[in-house]
Amino acid sequence: KVDNTPDDKTTTAKSSSLFTRYDRNAYDNAARNHFNSTADDEKLTYGNLDKDAIIKRRQRKRNNDNSSQQDDNDDSNNKCTTYLAPSSIPNSGLGMYTTIPYAKGDTFLLPEIGIMLQDKDAHYPQGSNKLLAQYPWGPGILTGGHREVTTGAVMVPGLGMLANSHLGLVNFRHSDTWRMQIDEDGTDSLSLEGLQSSTTLKDVGRGSSSYHSRVLFHADKNIQRGEELFVNYGDEWFTARESWIGVIPSAKNYEEADRLIAELFSENDGGHDVVDPQAYEVLLQDAAEKDKRLRAAFPDNVEDLPVAKDIGTARFSARSSIQSVEWIEENGVCIDNLVSGTSTIAQAGRGAFATRTINKGAVITTTPLITLEREQLQLWEEVDGTDVGVQNKIKKEDKVLEMVGHQLLLNYCYGHVNSSLILFPYSPTVNFINHGSKEKANAEIVWSSYPYHKGEWLNLSLEEMKELQKTGLMFDIVATKDISLGGEVLLYYGKDWEDSWNEHIEDWTTAENEQDGMMHKNVTDTLGVHLNQRSNSDSIILTVEEQKIQPYPPYLETVCRFKPPAEKCQDENNDYCTIRWSLSMNEMHDNPCDVISRPSIDGNDWYFVRMNITNSTSNETTRYHVEFLPRYAIRLINREYTKDQYSRGVFREVIGLPESLFPDHWIDLKEEDDNYIYQD
Ligand X SMILES: C[S@@+](CC[C@H](N)C(=O)[O-])C[C@H]1O[C@@H](n2cnc3c(N)ncnc32)[C@H](O)[C@@H]1O
**Rounded to the nearest whole angstrom, what is the least distance from the CB of residue 257 to ligand X in the complex?**
43
Amino acid at residue number 297: A
Angle, helices 251-267/277-290, rounded to nearest 10 degrees? 150
CB nearer to ligand X: pick between 197 and 582: 197
CB of 674 to ligand X, least distance (A): 16
Nearer to ligand X, 302 or 348 (CB): 348
Q: With respect to ligand X, which residue has the nearer C-beta, 331 or 347?
A: 347
Alpha-carbon gap, residue 399 to 383, rounded angstroms: 8
CB 233 → ligand X: shortest distance, Å?
24
Cα–Cα distance for residue pair 60/48, rounded to 1 Å? 13
DSSP state of 92: -
Could you tell me the smallest distance in angstroms from the CB atom of residue 213 to ligand X?
A: 6
Number of Cβ atoms within 10 Å of the Cβ of 286:
12
Q: What is the DSSP string of 346-413?
A: TT--EEEEESS-B-TT-EEEEEEEEEEEGGGGEEEEEESS--BTBTTEEEETTEEEEEEEE-GGGGG-
* Distance from C-alpha of 629 to C-alpha of 110, rounded to nearest angstrom: 33
Nearest to ligand X by Cβ — which residue? 349
Question: Is the Cβ of residue 229 or residue 409 nearer to ligand X in the bound state?
Answer: 409
Q: Are 483 and 338 in contact (CB under 8 A)?
A: no
Contact between 317 and 297 (Cβ < 8 Å): yes
In the complex, minimum distance from the CB of residue 472 to ligand X, in angstroms, rounded to a whole number: 22
Closer by beta carbon to ligand X, 214 or else 520: 214
Shortest CB 204 distance to ligand X, Å: 8
Binding site for ligand X (CB under 6 A): 113, 205, 208-210, 343, 345, 347-350, 411-412, 431-435, 651
- Residue 173 falls in which region: left (phi positive, over 0), alpha (psi -120 to 50) or beta: beta
Indicate the residue type of 296. A
* Shorter beta-carbon distance to ligand X: residue 88 or 210: 210
Q: With the C-alpha atoms ordered 288, 290, 292, 295, is the resulting torsion angle positive or negative?
A: negative
For ligand X, the closer CB: 70 or 347 = 347
Minimum CB separation from ligand X for residue 341, in Å?
Answer: 10
Based on CB atoms, which residue is closest to ligand X, 260 or 433?
A: 433
- At residue 8, φ and ψ (nearest 5 deg) are -80, 0
Count CB neighbours of 510 within 10 A: 11
Among residues 86, 60, 87, the alpha carbon closest in space to that of 74 is found at 60
Minimum distance from residue 432 beta carbon to ligand X (Å):
5
- CB of residue 471 vs ligand X: minimum separation in angstroms? 18
DSSP state of 354: E
Cβ closest to ligand X, residue 344 vs residue 537: 344
Residue 486: closest CA among 340, 360, 335: 340
For residue 266, the one-letter residue type is: S
Sign of torsion, CA 132 137 142 148? positive
Residue among 465 and 650 whose Cβ is closer to ligand X: 650
CA distance 429 to 339: 6
From the CB of 91, what's the least distance to ligand X, in Å? Answer: 30
